[in-house]
Chain A
Amino acid sequence: MADETKGSDQPAPPKPSEGAAAASEKPAAPPAATPPAAKPAVPAPPPKPAGPVPLPWESEMVTRLRQRFGSGLQPFTYLGQNYVIADPSIVAQMLQELRDEEQFDYCVDVTAVHYPKREKQFDVVWVLYSFPRNQRVRVKTMIAEAESAPSATALWESANWLEREVFDMFGLRFDGHPDLRRILLPDGWKGHPLRKDYGIIQQDQEWVQINLGIESGQ
């Protein structure tokens, strides 16, 4: 379960022994400092050291969350950073719980990643921070293209523009967002640029033709 996080289009997952060996070099400690550098000096390593792998994360908070949500969530820790992969069905309540019970009062970032070869193509990521605990946690959920994610605007006002940007760049809708429209691109833009199928050299000629009146679209 630890290896399937990155989806099926990734290189072959490391063998468990290697993973364990790699893990033993770096104690995956719960929150704070980066693990010390020990890896790079290894000469001629065995085939493709895949490096650190996400390890299961245990803490009191995780226990509480598991009690509440059961199996809908999978907590991991990777390179000292903790994250939780949640089912789309429970993610709204989980965010609420994190804010109310676990004191995560600051929504640092809301973003998304697009994996076109996966069935559930989009990873929506919330990065949360707790001032009282000085802890950061990431909440991830995976949704398909036609689905929508719950909006965190009611919980943290900072999510307002952040979700608008995700909508603008990826086309993901957020249920319950007060004013979901494009923010960085002009209103009439077609397409969502940060998707993997949006070419980087592509130019939207239509907008230029209509709005600037340039025939060639350049």
Chain B
Amino acid sequence: MSESTTRTDPILAFEEKKDPTFLDATELVLNMGPQHPSTHGVLRVILKLDGEKVLGTECVIGYLHRGVEKIAEHRTYAMFNPYVDRMDYVAAVSNGLGYCEAVEKLLNVEAPPRAQYIRVILTELNRIASHQLWLGTHALDIGAMTPLFYTFRDREEVLKIFERYCGARLTTHSFRIGGCQYETYEGFEQDVKKFCDFFEPKIDEYEQLLTTNRIWVQRTKGVGILSGPDCKALGVTGPVLRASGVKWDLRKAQPYAAYKDFEFEIPTGQNGDTYDRYLVRVAEMRQSLRIIRQAVEGIPEGAIMAKIPKVLKPPVGEIYHSIEAPKGELGYFVVSDGSTQPYRVRVRPPSFVNLQALNKMVIGGLVADVVAVIGTLDIVLGEVDR
């Protein structure tokens, strides 16, 4: 039985009723519409304000809903692989990694070690690229225009490596079920090493611009505080959770790919405010460099693709597999009915669940903080809406 619930959109309600008390009350309803220079993607936030103070928010999402999960039921497993890139288009490699690993688990195969190392290298490079984009746009929202250009300029180097490897910069479709399709190109290791050496001082450059900048600190310290227990209850994961003091990273808690072999730290914050999230993500970039360096040193020789049948027909069953995407815990719940097409693919998007926390984080704050908090949650609407 299908049913549709209608709800009065407060802005529309006003226009319909021409409520005479609309402007008179101490509450002002303001619409940060889906098109906005600051919200990252088509996100609509309806704010209830008392002057400058935020009394409540409501997020209206779904402007980018493309029915990816429905499409999955009508494509074969391998055919669905390019679709997952388009969800979190900023960190496409992670999406691909999660999906390939989930299906591999369902098939009960494991990618060969060389493929796993390549996967780790590309995923960590992608994590750096995603955090760079986040840093640039977040700084731009808060008013510092310059870091955007610096981070995008440096991000070009990562995208060049991706382009040389698989031909695409953004939605890379870099992995296949069972391993990687492409062997690393001639000079891949040198390129990656060169990038690591090139990028390390750049992180220092970004920090120099922002970390001790008085205005930056004033704009981000104490803004959008979310405590550890709140994070866990709200299901918030990723750098937001770590900045609230919970030292939890799926790469260490439930290692996947080749992460067991590498030594790295999990940066955490203390207060759970925007400044801590900024520090955590910058530190994560450094840790990613560390992982990449270790991985490049130790890439084993061997096959890059496991032996799987040409026609993938996983046995009947269901599986849930999640990875640590740059935004948080990205999970895939794949149900197979034994045929070539998945019966159900459910994507558990980190941005979707993190966005729920927006309400808690901005109530009591000011309007200008709403923009900062949306930026610090690092949401990508492609993932929120799928």
Contact = CB atoms under 8 A, between A and B. Distances in A.
B290 interface: no
B4 A190 contact: yes
Interface stretch (B121-129, B151-159, B333-341): B333-341
A108 B346 CA distance: 12
B302 to A, nearest CB: 14
Interface in B1-47: 1-7, 9
A109 interface: yes
B237 to A, nearest CB: 8
B235 A194 contact: no
A185 B235 contact: no
B105 A79 contact: yes
B74 A200 contact: yes
Interface stretch (A61-69, A90-98, A156-164): A156-164
Given A34-B110, A40-B307, A79-B317, A131 B246 contact: yes
B109 interface: yes
Contacts of B353: 158, 161-162
Contacts of B253: 134
Interface stretch (B62-70, B88-96, B270-278): B62-70
A162 B329 CA distance: 15
A120 interface: no
B356 interface: yes
Contacts of B352: 161, 165
Interface in B345-375: 346, 348, 352-353, 355-356
Interface in A159-179: 159-162, 165, 169, 171
A194 B356 contact: no
B201 to A, nearest CB: 37
B348 A10 contact: no
A86 to B, nearest CB: 16
B7 A52 contact: no
Contacts of B246: 131
Interface in B53-107: 61-62, 65, 67, 69-71, 73-74, 105-107
Contacts of B331: 108-109, 127
A32 B254 contact: yes
B108 A52 contact: yes
Interface string A173-212: 0000000111111111111111000101000000000000
A194 B306 contact: no
A113 B70 CA distance: 11
Interface stretch (B180-188, B216-224, B280-288, B308-316): B308-316
A113 B62 contact: no
A190 B6 CA distance: 11
Report which residue of A26, A51, A198 has the largest number of chain B beta carbons within 10 angstroms of its beta carbon.
A51
Nearest to A125: B333
B339 to A, nearest CB: 9
Nearest to A182: B5
Interface string A85-109: 0000000000000000000011111
B272 to A, nearest CB: 16
A118 interface: no
A49 B315 CA distance: 8
A11 interface: yes
Contact of A51 (B5, B108, B235, B335): B108
Contacts of B315: 49-52
A10 B4 contact: no
A172 B124 CA distance: 39
A146 B7 contact: no
A186 B62 contact: yes
B325 to A, nearest CB: 14
B1 A145 contact: yes
Nearest to B332: A109
Contacts of B108: 26, 34-35, 37, 39, 51-52, 79
A108 B235 contact: yes
Given A185-B62, A185-B65, A187-B4, A79 B106 contact: yes
Nearest to B246: A131
Contact of A189 (B4, B109, B232, B386): B4
Interface of B: 1-7, 9, 61-62, 65, 67, 69-71, 73-74, 105-110, 232-236, 246, 248, 253-254, 306-309, 314-320, 322, 329, 331, 333, 335, 337-338, 343-344, 346, 348, 352-353, 355-356, 385-386
Interface of A: 6, 9-11, 26, 32, 34-37, 39-41, 49-52, 54, 78-79, 81, 105-109, 111, 113-114, 125, 127, 131, 134, 136, 138, 145-146, 156-162, 165, 169, 171, 180-194, 198, 200
22 contacts: A10-B337, A26-B108, A37-B109, A37-B306, A39-B108, A40-B306, A79-B319, A81-B320, A108-B331, A108-B348, A109-B348, A113-B344, A127-B348, A131-B248, A136-B254, A145-B1, A181-B5, A186-B62, A187-B4, A188-B6, A190-B2, A191-B2
Given A191-B2, A192-B2, 17 more contacts: A11-B316, A37-B306, A40-B109, A51-B108, A51-B315, A108-B348, A109-B346, A111-B333, A113-B318, A127-B331, A127-B333, A131-B246, A146-B1, A157-B235, A180-B5, A183-B62, A200-B71
